[in-house]
Structure 1
Amino acid sequence: MRITIFVTALLMSANAETVMASNTTAEQIYSAAGQFLEAFAEKQADEGFSVTHDSGKPDARLSLATCDTPLDVSFSGDPWKTTQPSLLVSCEGDRPWRMFLPVSVTITGNALVASRTLGRGERLTESALRTDSVVVNSIRRGAITSEEQLIGMEMRRGVNAGTVFTPDLLLTPAAIERGDHVIISARSGNFSVNSRGKALASGGIGEQVLVENLSSSRTVRARVTAPGRVEIPM
């Protein structure tokens, strides 16, 4: 009986070691996550951003099916809009699985901020802007880093000096104001006919507005294509 028990115990121990050796361990998952975050940090450094990161360690007792392909790691949230995006770690092999790993990511870099107090409806010029170092991904609506996205835009509401510019603060200025005289182009392919009209509403480029054709007195709906110009299909 003692010999049987001893042999059985040896077999159970050997089987357990085989299973543990073949499974994906918590350390392997943690290592794959670290390599992914390091690669992300290096890529952003090339663009002028500094990235610090920390990933939570999975429970050391975690044991998932062995993966016969390299582990796939990706962000499950947008790292540019949150400092806690979490990672999706998955195996796409014969025995697929997936798990989420909490991580902390801080992206620091230059963003555009108001150089002075700005009023609602104010048109932005270069003098209204300055750059400042901010934690970009702590600004959920997305910090703006390009002057081209700001110059010429209007403020949706007033802000204090130092406020980081985000898309929700901006309005595209109207290319046509109500009452403006406009050129109406009736276009079909490369052929077009122009006439004079008057805008009955304000609108930005790409928007639809009502326009009165001054020759026929008809009211038509036209698309704003440029300041002072609208287009209707023939």
Structure 2
Amino acid sequence: MRITIFVTALLMSTLTGIGMAADTTAGQITTAADEFLAAFAKAQSGEGFAVEYDSGSLDPRLSLATCDSPLEVSFSGDPWKTTQPSLQISCEGSRPWRMFLPVSVNITGDAMVAARPLGRGERLTPGALRTDTVVVNAIRRGAITSEDQLVGMEMRRGINAGTVFTPDLLLAPAAIERGDHVIISARSGNFSVNSRGKALASGGIGEQVLVENLSSSRTVRARVTAPGRVEIPM
């Protein structure tokens, strides 16, 4: 989730003794980062995730040009895929600048894990799944948090009980198996003609497979649109 907030009151420029605006300090930048991360944590708590963060520290001698507009803070990468993201902090005022601040973020919540050892090619059922509390963004390939994304999928390889499910472990089941009889739709706009055929290869929805048209004995390449149905352009 990408959040951008504008930090206002804490980043108002202060006047020096000679009436000139002070530079933007390390303390102001750190405060801006903390405010941003606090907002991110609050947003995720509403979705059932707990966020712990540390904005680190900057050299207190750091001083950047005075920003005459609110500082903008955002993640420079996806915080759901790393515990060490960076924040981009920028000024879009008359003297623009930007900098990157490494921070530490742990997002803890429920993810789907294997309830028992699973074998390669096994079709997933609700009984093979359970939830466990993990640091979600420490799973670099992306932890799956919804049972709906798993039921009916096939295992690409075997895993042990307790393994967190990630997209690379899964295969979409074939909608058509080699040798299946299928309906071939030849479509042009709203007009289509159907014929019967036989799949010469297995494929999932959206994939292209070779199909034999049983009426003409011609072999055509068609896109799988649903179980038992393929489509070719006219």
Match of 1:43 in 2: 43
Any gaps of 5 or more consecutive residues in structure 2? 1-15
Residue 47 and residue 166 in structure 1: after superposition, are their counterparts in 2 closer, same or farther (change >3 A)? same
Query: Aligned letter for 1:206?
Result: G
Deviations 1:137-175 (A, max 9, x none): 000010001111111110000000000000000001111
1: distance between equivalents of 2:145 and 2:156? 18
Relative to total residues, which structure has the larger helix share, 1 or 2?
A: 1
Q: Secondary structure at the match of 1:43?
A: helix
Matched, 1:205 2:205: yes
2: distance between equivalents of 1:209 and 1:221? 6
Larger radius of gyration: 1
Q: Secondary structure at the match of 2:94?
A: coil
Q: What does residue range 214-233 of structure 1 map to in structure 2 within 5 Å?
A: 214-233=214-233
TM, length-normalised to structure 2: 0.91
Match of 1:90 in 2: 90
Query: Aligned letter for 1:229?
Result: R
Match of 1:4 in 2: none
Match of 1:34 in 2: 34
Q: Secondary structure at the match of 2:85?
A: coil
Report if the CA contact (8 A) 1:50-1:107 is conserved.
yes
TM, length-normalised to structure 1: 0.91
Q: How many residues align?
A: 219
Q: Secondary structure at the match of 1:184?
A: strand
1:199 shift after superposition: 0.6
Q: Secondary structure at the match of 1:87?
A: strand
Identical columns (%)? 82
Q: Secondary structure at the match of 1:112?
A: strand
Matched, 1:131 2:125: no
Match of 2:153 in 1: 153
Deviations 1:172-220 (A, max 9, x none): 1111111111111112222221111111111100111110001100011
Query: Aligned letter for 2:226?
Result: A
Any gaps of 5 or more consecutive residues in structure 1? 1-15
1:70 shift after superposition: 0.7
Report if the CA contact (8 A) 1:20-1:63 is conserved.
no
Residue 221 and residue 18 in structure 1: after superposition, are their counterparts in 2 closer, same or farther (change >3 A)? farther
Report if the CA contact (8 A) 1:69-1:91 is conserved.
yes
What is the RMSD computed on CA atoms of the aligned residues? Answer: 1.4
Residue 20 and residue 33 in structure 1: after superposition, are their counterparts in 2 closer, same or farther (change >3 A)? farther
Q: Secondary structure at the match of 1:37?
A: helix
Q: Secondary structure at the match of 1:203?
A: coil
2: distance between equivalents of 1:139 and 1:68? 40
